[in-house]
A and B are shown apart, each in its own frame.
Chain A
């Protein structure tokens, strides 16, 4: 899937990104004054999840339709290790993330053997397999899930039993995850990934081990999706089947699509939009599903660049008009 390859020129765009990110973090630091911290934490977990997903689709051109398997399974692992094995909080999150990475390695090795549409179907099928495993395995607690996961003090020092203190921990995890992704995109590795997305055959002919690059990107994306899931289990003190369903895989696709695939901040905006929408319409039953479907259809038909992608495109058009350079902005999202 082609997307607007901004920042090919490097320098200036990167600084803009970092300034925007600094402003965002500053706003998030004071946000609990105005917004309920649990909602903010939910947004942050899904934002990290969507950013991890975006690393694959936006920069590697790989549409994974099964990312819930990493998100949900990591939630189970961290929930189980903390509750039953008595792991400390940080160790529990680490365990969930590590298992997601291992699962990502296995799923990645299988899935990258096919491209494009088949890749999407294969990841979806693998995720469904993980779903059935979680449904049947005794440690997940079946339909009940793992409930009342304790919030132990972080590193034995920081008390996170209150929502506000936990919020700042979640914010730190989110910021760290975001910076890892941002750094990856702007590394030589990220450049090769983009080259593969644009023209895989040419990347092969240039001598790049394309499959290895894809696999590393897949594992990294799975790991960070796992980090997001493990954190979410801690926030809601719950790990349940909802997080491993195909609907969850679809939701993260939707968040990224709405915000803007292949944009740095799009997934964050998309996650905020969708989570707030779900929260607003909780009383409307299945209409949430219908609304999500409608957003999918409308976004695909009308604004494929997503919210952030459209904003960037408008800004670039203005800049181009200002410089009187008659080059049209590349299409796609």
Chain B
């Protein structure tokens, strides 16, 4: 077959697909971060740990209860989201009147606790999770594993549903209003504290969903979250947290860029997103989709 810039198209498209998958995780996680930050002014450092919990809960459901992947896809985000609600009610809600940095420090501490507990229990070598839809289709120009195609399509759908809910429904209108003026929305009779709690739960659930999706692709590993969350922070800085659509586009876009870097300059693939972040900060500090404040 023909070669593109000296790279066989199989490798190129394979990495492109992997990039799209990573991009899906970036999008799902930065979406949750953006919604939580918009409403609570808290950067949820626990987000990576909750992504990891999503994968682990899926693994445990299979291991201890025999619940297969498709059940875990629903149950795991619900379970992890519920733990998020408890955390918000018990701990984070006590800090809303303080400087936002305390929320960051608190959730950082929580992330350490969660990661430490899982590392203590399961070590840091990683546990395998069986691919629920093995096999794939040869498209002529590349081989498409079913599961990878499913992850890209499904997470794109989840992102679009989230975008639609926030930007086009009445519920989303309440949410956006509360982001701008919580006091005023409360005065209109909306229970803002409950809304905040549920929003946190949903944001955490999205992270857990990404974790379940990741489980069959990567091994289930206690450190999978902390490595990812820092990249997601960079993604958030690049995109700016002002726009939901912006988070989705930035997430997928950067995943693809990272995948392409793996093909053309493998050594730089771990740092390319951080380099892009530095450039964006110099040129457009508020982020690609952010509004200057």
Contacts and interface: CB of A to CB of B under 8 A. Distances in A.
Decide whether A and B assemble into one complex.
yes
Given A125-B237, A126-B278, A128-B230, A289 B112 contact: yes
B91 A287 contact: no
Contacts of A294: 109, 113
A121 B237 contact: yes
A110 B101 contact: no
A296 B105 contact: yes
Nearest to B119: A286
A246 B102 CA distance: 18
A260 to B, nearest CB: 14
Contacts of B101: 1, 63, 116-117, 120
Interface in B242-276: 267, 270-271, 274-275
A189 interface: no
Contacts of B106: 296-297, 300-301
Interface stretch (A129-137, A165-173, A233-241): A129-137
A289 B114 CA distance: 9
Nearest to B123: A286
B234 A121 contact: yes
A38 B248 CA distance: 50
A269 interface: no
Contacts of B91: 297, 301
Interface size class of B (residues with CB under 8 A): 35 or more
B99 A2 contact: yes
A293 B113 CA distance: 5
B110 to A, nearest CB: 6
A149 interface: no
Contacts of B275: 129
Interface residues of A, number: 45
Given A116-B101, A120-B43, A297-B91, A287 B120 contact: yes
A121 B233 contact: yes
A122 interface: yes
Main secondary structure of the interface of A (DSSP, over half): helix
Contact of A116 (B100, B105, B113, B234): B100
B270 A132 contact: yes
**Dominant secondary structure at the B interface:** helix
Given A1-B99, A116-B100, A300 B274 contact: no
A255 to B, nearest CB: 13
A123 to B, nearest CB: 10
A118 B287 CA distance: 11
Contact of A250 (B112, B236, B278, B281): B112
Contacts of B112: 250, 289-290, 292-293, 296
A290 B113 contact: yes
Contacts of A93: none
Interface of B: 37, 43, 91, 94-95, 98-102, 104-106, 108-117, 119-120, 226, 230-231, 233-234, 236-237, 267, 270-271, 274-275, 277-278, 281-282, 285
Complex A-B, nearest 10 residue pairs according to Cβ-Cβ distance, in ascending order: A296-B109, A293-B112, A289-B116, A293-B113, A290-B116, A129-B274, A286-B120, A125-B234, A121-B233, A113-B285
Interface of A: 1-2, 63, 65, 109-111, 113-114, 116-118, 120-122, 124-126, 128-129, 132-133, 135-136, 246, 250, 253, 257, 285-297, 300-301, 304, 332
Given A124-B230, A301-B91, 14 more contacts: A116-B101, A120-B101, A121-B234, A125-B233, A126-B278, A136-B270, A253-B108, A286-B117, A286-B119, A289-B119, A290-B112, A292-B112, A293-B109, A300-B105
